[in-house]
Amino acid sequence: MAELTSETFYVYENWTHNKTRIHRSTCSHCNNGDGHSGGTSEGGNDKWHGAFSSYADAKKCALSLGRADNADCEFCQPC
């Protein structure tokens, strides 16, 4: 697993909304892969992937998940 630094990245996957988002680990929406709810989801419709030591590795993961909507977090703008 990658060392948790400002240059560590996570991929958020949500299958209900068919999307992924790439985040910096320091993003308030990511919280080192714990998200807003401490890493758990009441609806069970999402998952955090990572940590990744590079943006390129996170992007590769996001695209491999096959979701229709793949983008960077609009708040932390990882790329």
pLDDT at residue 75 is higher than 70: yes
Helix (H) or strand (E) holding 13: strand 9-14
Question: pLDDT confidence of 10, banded at 50, 70, 90?
Answer: very high
**What is the per-residue pLDDT for 2?**
53
**What is the per-residue pLDDT for 40?**
59
Q: Which of 23-32, 33-42, 53-62 has the lowest mean pLDDT?
A: 33-42
**What is the per-residue pLDDT for 76?**
94
46 with 13: CB under 8 angstroms? yes
What the block records as the tokens of 26 is 């320091």
pTM: 0.87
